[in-house]
Amino acid sequence: VRLLFLKLSIGLGSLWMLYLASHLDTDKVSGFTRSHSWLEYTDEDGGPEKVCNCSGILQRDQESLEQAKLLTLTKTFRKRIQIPDEFYINETRDCRNFKLRRKYLTFPLSKEEEDFPLAYSMVVHHKVQNFERLLRAIYAPQNIYCVHVDKKSAPSVTSAILAITSCFPNVFMVSEAVSVVYAGWSRVQADLNCMADLYNASTKWKYFINLCGQDFPLKTNLEMVRMLQSLKGSNSLESESLPAEKRWRIHYVHNITDGKIKKPPPFNLPIKSGSAYIVVTRGYVGSVLKDSKIKDLTNWFKDTYSPDELIWATIQRIPGVPGSKWPSRKYDQTDVNAFARLVKWAWHEGSQDSESAVYPECQGNHVRSICVYGAGDLQWLLQNHHFFANKFDTATDPIAVFCLEKHLRHKALAEAE
C-alpha cells in the first residue's frame, strides 16, 4: 500500500504529499517533494509568545526587543506560559497525532544526515516543556537518544517524560537512573549509564553529545554533521590545565569529613579542567566504558568535587584514546573554542571594548552566575560556532526558544530543498 501511495504521489503534487506525510509519517518523503512548508513552524504553533516579531528580534530591532521584554514582565503572560506535566501525558495518548501536531521530523532530511547518525544523552530533572522542545529541536529518526530523569524528580515529571519518549522508537529512558547531586559523582554516573545504553543499543552512530534540559541547539542537524565530519575523528570539548584555584577539588576526599588528602591520580595522569558537556566519538565512549586505565581513573575521581568538570577533560588528553589530544598545554582547548557548549558567565560579560570581557552582557537574567538567555541574546548566539547554548527557560521566557525554533526549522527545511 505504501508503495502504491508513493507512486501516486509523483503525479498529485504538494496536496497529496501533505496527505502522505500525515498518514505515513515514517516514509522518507523528502525525495518526492520540493516543498516541506507543512513542517515550518508558524505563529500558530506558538503560545502567548507568538505575538512577538521573531524576524525583528533576530535582527536586533529595538522595538521588537522592547516588546518581547515587556511581555515577559506581565503577570498574565507568565501565567499563560505555564504548561502542566499532565498536558504531555494526555497529548501523547495518541503518539501519531502528537508527532503530527508538534511537527516532529519523522524522516531524514538528507542522505548525508542519514549516513551520519548521532547519539545523545539527555539528563533532566524538571521543566518538561523545556525537555520536549529541546527533543523536538534535535530529533531526527536516524539519531538515537537516551534520557536520564533524576530519581528525585517529581512523579509527574517522570511520567510525562516517559510518555513522550514512548512515542519514538529511537528515544528511550536510561536503564538505570540515579539520584543526581550537584557537583557530586552521580552527575557523571548519569551520563555513564546513558553512554553504556547508547553504545550497546547501536553500532552505527558516529558522535556522542550530552545535554541537560535547559540546553538548546544553535545549529541544524545538517550543520552539526558537516562540522563533525570536518573534525576527521577528533573530539571537541573544553580541556585545559587545571588552574591553581581549582586544585582543592582533587586534593581532598569530599565524601569524608576528616579532610583526608587524596592519593595522586593513577599512572601519573595530568588532571585537566573542562566542562560537563562534550562532543566525542564513539571510540572515545568505548574507551571510557572498556579501558582498564580509564576505569582506574574513574574510580579515583569518585570522591572529588565536581568531577564532571574534570573527568572528560582529563580523558581527552590520554594518549591512545580515539579523538584525543596530547597532554601538552599547546593542545589546551577552551569552552569558547570547543563545539560543545556556549555559556555566558556573569564575571566574563562586558562591553566589546573591554579587554577582559569574553562576551556581551546577558539580555535575560542570571541563575547561579549563568545567563538565562533572553530574546536580546539571540543574534549574538547565532554568530557563534557552538552546537548548543545554556541556559534557556521556557517557564520564564519562552520567546528566545520560540524564535530559535522557527529560525532553525526554516533553515533545516531550506537546506533540505
Active centre residues (catalytic): 309
Cβ partners under 8 Å of residue 383, min gap 6: none
Q: How many CB atoms lie within 10 A of CB 195?
A: 22
Residues in the chain: 417
Supply angle C-alpha 374, 54, 68, rounded to 5. 45
* 279-281 and 207-212 beta bridge pairing: antiparallel
Q: Dihedral of the CA atoms 134, 135, 138, 142 (nearest 10)? A: 170
Q: Which residues pair with 207 in a beta bridge?
A: 118, 281
Q: Which residues pair with 239 in a beta bridge?
A: 274, 333
Of 220, 213, 6, which is closest to residue 105 (Cα–Cα)? Answer: 220
Q: Which residues pair with 279 in a beta bridge?
A: 209, 236
d(CA 125, CA 128): 8
d(CA 41, CA 157): 26
d(CA 297, CA 292): 9
Asked if 212 and 390 count as a contact pair (C-beta separation under 8 A), the reply is yes
Q: Looking up cell 582533587, which residue turns up?
A: 250
Asked if 182 and 108 count as a contact pair (C-beta separation under 8 A), the reply is no
Dihedrals phi, psi of 380, to nearest 5 degrees? -65, -45
